[in-house]
Structures are given as C-alpha cells and as structure tokens.
Structure 1
Amino acid sequence: MLKLRFSSFDLECGTDEAGRGCLAGPVTAAAIILPPDFQINTLNDSKQLSEKTRDQLRPLLEEQAISHSVTHIEPDIIDSINILNASIKAMQESILQLNPAPLYIIVDGNRFKPIHGIPHTTIVKGDSKYMSIAAASVLAKTYRDDYMNRIHEEYPMYNWKKNKGYPTKEHREAIRKYGTTKYHRMSFRLLPEQLALDF
C-alpha cells in the first residue's frame, strides 16, 4: 500500500524520471503535489502498470493534483553534463515549475541536489512506496512515451514506437545499419563494439 506523505507538509512533492537507460530521446522527469484527500487505488510504480493503465491514470492525476510539471532534457544536454546530472536537472526544473512551490521534496533514487533550500529526502524504490513519486513516475513515463512516438514518425526504422529508445537488439541493429540521428545520445555505448560506428 502506497503512503500519501513522507513529511508533515501538505505541500510535499514527489519527483521521478524516465528514460535514463535509453540510447535515444530525452530523459524526462515529472514533479507533482497531491492533495491531502487524494486516493486512486490503481496507482503504482509506472513499471508495474500496463501502458493502458498508465494512459488512463495520467488525466486523473493531472485533474486531482494541486500542481504538476514535466520536463524533457534533450540528448545534447545529456551528452554535455552526463545522464545522472541530466536526470537531476530534469527533476529540479520540474519542481521549479510547480505553483504553489513545494515545502518538501521526496525523490525516487539516492541522488539529488537541493534547490532553493527546500528540504528533500531521497528514497530508493520510492515509486513503490509513496503516491506522489509513483504519480510522478506515471507522468514522466507517459510524456516520454508520447515524445518517442512522435519522433518515431520521423525515423521509423528504429522502431522507437515500440522500444522507446531502449537498447533492444532491434534498436542496436538499426543503429548498425542506418547510423545515428540527432536524437541519439552520443556519449552512450550505442553498440557493443563502439568502433563499429563511424561518427
């Protein structure tokens, strides 16, 4: 059973990211503040939910939230500051867009950098423990999937509509055959033998 709050603050936000391990596309984060009377029984860590359930949950979460925000950090930024810093930046930017601003932040994972002096706690597997982090994971995942579906139309040969940019065998074979795009993360090991790629 997910808990609603970690702290004693009503304006507590949860934040999470999606797409950290992908070879292409942005890393996407969401932040959300849920009301004290929030209750959606089907909410869970986005990885435990079907795509259909996530898509059904998103409008419900947005409707009930006190505030929510989503941020994409593009591959060129990921390549310049590394994926960990890009993930943290995406979460920070999402939090800064919340109105009202949160008084406490709970973060999925074990790494975060404080912003504006707002107290925070990192929680390993937080998306399976707290509602706001689970809600943020659903928003981040669905908005990133939408993004990958859009750029799939531009480069259908990589089948991002299905693999969402993750390092599947099919995706890597397409990189081997067609090379890279502006959406690929050039700092990542795109192929098992990196020298096979001609940059």
Structure 2
Amino acid sequence: MTETIGHIKSLLKNIDNVSDVRLSQWRKDSRLGVQTALQSWDKRYAKSQQQEQAFQGRFAFERHYWQQGITHIAGVDEVGRGPLAGPVIAAAVILPSDFHNVEVIDSKQVSAQKREALYELIIEQAVSIGVGVVDAAIIDDINIYQAARLAMTKAVKDLAPEPEVLLIDAMSLDVPMMQEALIKGDALSNSIGAASIVAKVTRDRLMSDYDLIYPGYGFASNAGYGTKDHLAGLEKLGVTPIHRRSFGPVREQL
C-alpha cells in the first residue's frame, strides 16, 4: 500500500539522520508533494548541521582545557552598562562537558521568549552559576566600567565549586585564576553565551519588578535604557533611587 503524502510528512518530522533508509526510498517517489516535503527536510537538516557545527566550534576554548583535565571552566559576562537606571548584573556559568543545546549563544541573538527557555535549561544543567549585582549608587561612585568588573568579580566568587579557568567577555579581573579575555566572547564561547543569557534574564526580571515599584518609566519594557517613554517619565516624574545620577539624561533632570 502506497504511503500517503501526509503520512510521509509526519514521519519526516521525526527523522534526524541523513542515512535513514526511508529517505532514499521516498526520493524515488514521483509525487510532487513527497519531493517538496523532502526538499524542506533537506533544508532543515542542513540548517541543523550548521547549528551543530557552530555549537561545537563555540566549545573550542573549553575543550582546550577539558583535554588537559581541567573541568571547572567558567564563562563570565555582564549586562546593563548602557541603561540610565538599574544595576549592572554579571553571571558566571560552569557548563558540564556533555552540555548540548545548539541555541545557547550571545543573549542578544535570541528572542526574549527563547532566552527565558534557555535560562531555565542552563539553571537546570549547569555545574554552577554565580551572579553579581552592582547597584546605581556604586556605579555613580566608581564608574560603569569598574562597576561591571566588580559585578563580574562578585559572580565568580559566587561560584561553587571554584572555577579553575575564566573565559571572560572582553575583560580581565583581579582574581587568582587563569583567565582569557575574549573579544565578543559571548558569541565565541558557549560558557560565556550561557552567562550572558543568565545575566540578561536576571536583570530583565529585576527591572520588571522595579516597574511595579516605580511605574511610569516603562522599566518592564525598556530595562532602564533611555527610550522615549523612559525619558518622558524622567521629565514628568523625576529621578528614582535606582537611576544613575552620573549618566547625562539623569544628571540633567537633577
């Protein structure tokens, strides 16, 4: 009995191996619907292979150390340098060597919904996660660059077990551990990418909470960045305790 096109399409959804014998059989099927379905499968498979290859490539730095018997390698990243309000938050993440999710990458490259899903997955599977928070008052006191370094240092110290090596996004820290500063590291290392996702989701959730405490600035949607609604709120309502007084638009309101 000839398989229906709909049945073949259904079966194709669960095939992830190019050597599956059914593929070669269906390629002999002259029906246009079957060939169209196979073309779609070929495109999905090629994309998945590219994602897998890129994912494995982003483990190159970690793999270098794993092969030496060094297991606790932490990726470190921060978010929140640019906003006018809220803290700068850093995360440090140690991933196991068998971690596998090809979608983990720089948080800016995935949607908010996907970040939330990946955050939960990272929390569940990571060997250890550390978070460091530096609030607006300290940012004003020591400047945003030093505040970002402080947040990263706090995140590293929050890890247990202690990391042996740090992979850091374009930064070096005053900690007694081997470290590599990688330019745009959140797109080069899965560990740093995971840290960027944890830091981003943590900060976005915090800013949503602040939106309830300080309504009228749009913190839930703008995360404290200087958007039109935020600047309008500043002009109408004034400066809150979480605003960075050393940042131009806030300083002007003062």
Query: What range is the shorter-chain TM-score in?
Result: over 0.9
Q: Give runs of aligned pairs for residues 47-126 of structure 1, distance below 5 A.
A: 47-109=108-170, 111-115=171-175, 117-126=176-185
Aligned-residue RMSD, C-alpha: 1.2
CA deviations on 1:42-71 (whole Å, 9 max, x unpaired) are 111100110000000111101111100112
CA contact (8 A) 1:24 1:165 kept: yes
1:4 and 2:64 correspond: no
Larger Rg: 2
Output the CA distance in 1 between the equivalents of 2:164 and 2:201.
26
Equivalent residue number for residue 155 of structure 1: 214
Equivalent residue number for residue 17 of structure 2: none
Query: Are residues 31 and 125 of structure 1, via their aligned partners in 2, closer, same or farther at CA, if it must alter by over 3 Å?
Result: same
SS at match of 2:248: coil
In structure 1, stretches of 5+ residues that fail to align are none
Equivalent residue number for residue 44 of structure 1: 105
CA contact (8 A) 1:5 1:12 kept: no
CA deviations on 1:80-118 (whole Å, 9 max, x unpaired) are 111001101111111011111111001012x32230x20
Output the CA distance in 2 between the equivalents of 1:131 and 1:67.
14
Equivalent residue number for residue 177 of structure 1: 236
The structure where helix makes up a greater share of residues is 2
SS at match of 2:216: helix
Give the number of equivalent residue pairs: 193
CA contact (8 A) 1:54 1:142 kept: yes
1:136 and 2:195 correspond: yes
Identity of aligned residues (%): 39
CA deviations on 1:151-192 (whole Å, 9 max, x unpaired) are 10011100101101011122112111211000000011125x
Output the CA distance in 2 between the equivalents of 1:171 and 1:164.
9
State the Cα distance separating 1:5 from its structure 2 match: 4.6
Output the CA distance in 1 between the equivalents of 2:173 and 2:121.
30
Output the CA distance in 1 between the equivalents of 2:224 and 2:246.
14
Output the TM-score relative to the length of structure 1.
Answer: 0.93
Output the TM-score relative to the length of structure 2.
Answer: 0.73
CA deviations on 1:17-37 (whole Å, 9 max, x unpaired) are 011100000000000000011
State the Cα distance separating 1:123 from its structure 2 match: 0.6
In structure 2, stretches of 5+ residues that fail to align are 1-53
